[in-house]
Amino acid sequence: MAMSTDRHQHTNLFRSDGLRRRRQWEERTVRAALLFFALVSVLTTLGIIYVLLEETVLFFRQVSFAQFFLDTRWTPLFLSQRFGIWPLVNGTVLVAAGAMLVALPLGLLAAIYMSEYASERVRRVLKPFLEILAGIPTVVYGYFALTFITPILRSVFPQTQVFNAASAAIAMGFMILPMVASLSEDALYAVPNSVREAAYALGATRWEVATQVVVPAALSGIAAAFILAVSRAIGETMIVAIAAGQQPKLTLNPLESIETMTAYIVQVSLGDTPQQSLAYKTIFAVGMMLFVMTLGMNVASYLLTRRFREVYE
């Protein structure tokens, strides 16, 4: 008897319409709120596009596309204003290319070692170092480039300018190395052991398995990592703002002072350029260029991992 009353009460508790309605209401409210939080990221993207477009459109009302894309000089802050974007792109690509010369081979080798050679214990010792390297603020790398790498470069190549592309590129390369290593390692790690074992069974040595079987199998992942690294290098700001200089010019000589797109934005932000002036609008046009370049690479990297991913069982 007692049990049945008990059960009866419980049944009532769960059938209470008020409670159920409150729970449904709570469920719906929470779901809506969480969806809104997730949509903040979409709003962010829209905001970026809106802000960049708005100012860029204003900029191009005063400066023609031809001036922007065909002129070879960039001097918006001088009296004789010229708006050719290429010197800034040149500086950006020069530093990024230099950084890739450091980060890609070292990063890939590090990834091969971590994934194919290192024992669990060695990995546990080495990995934190790479993580620290990745976690150091970029302004610190800038300091290091200017006060350590540049003096060394100048003692080896006396013609090196105080601010130069090479020292920023080297520091940036080591900053990006952990990212390349970690993403490539993920790609290598995803190759199943059966593939390695098959290669061993055919008589390949360990290095041959790593480079002729595992790396090709993980190639799309590695390529995606490389593209992301380039995109990161192009958007990197503080190292170049500190160590690479403020002289936009068309040159391939890494020992010269140059200016990147990001460093230019910093230069104008720190200066006393009036906010309504045409010179100030240039930073949004440059930002748009930067955004389009990095977006293109990020999408390419995303498609690469999507499209060419080898699916193993």
Partner 1 sequence: MTTDDGRRTTDDRRRTPQYGIRMFEPNLERRKALGVVWEGVALLAILLGIAMLLTLLVKVFVDGLPHLRPQLFTEFPSRFPDQAGLRSALQGSIWLMVLTALLSFPLGVGAGIYLEEFAPKNALTRFIEINVANLAGVPSIIYGLLGLGLFVRGLGLGRSLLAGVLTMTLVILPVIIVSTREALRAVPASIREAALALGASRWEMVRDHVLVYSMGGILTGMILALSRAIGETAPLITIGALTYIAFDLRGPLDIFTVLPIQIFNWVSMPQAAFQRLAAAGIIVLLALLLTMNALAIWLRNRLQRRW
Least separation in angstroms between residue 194's CB and partner 1 is 21
Q: How far apart are CA 252 and CA 241, in angstroms?
A: 19
Q: How far apart are CA 142 and CA 171, in angstroms?
A: 7
Q: 246 vs 253, which CB is nearer to partner 1? A: 246
Q: 140 vs 250, which CB is nearer to partner 1? A: 140
Least separation in angstroms between residue 153's CB and partner 1 is 15
DSSP string, 59-71: HHHHS-HHHHHH-
Q: Dihedral through CA 196, CA 202, CA 203, CA 205, nearest 10?
A: -30
Least separation in angstroms between residue 228's CB and partner 1 is 7
- For residue 181, what is the enclosing H or E element? helix 165-189
- Cα 184 to chain centroid distance, Å, stands at 15
Tokens read off for 229: 């690294």
Q: How far apart are CA 7 and CA 2, in angstroms?
A: 9
Where are any strands of DSSP class E within the chain? none
**Quick check: 173 and 102 in contact, CB under 8 A?**
yes
Q: 76 vs 142, which CB is nearer to partner 1? A: 142
Least separation in angstroms between residue 250's CB and partner 1 is 23
Least separation in angstroms between residue 104's CB and partner 1 is 11
Q: 251 vs 294, which CB is nearer to partner 1? A: 294
In this structure, how many other beta carbons lie within 10 angstroms of the beta carbon of residue 288? 20
**Quick check: 254 and 173 in contact, CB under 8 A?**
no
Least separation in angstroms between residue 1's CB and partner 1 is 26
Q: 44 vs 277, which CB is nearer to partner 1? A: 44
Q: 83 vs 141, which CB is nearer to partner 1? A: 141
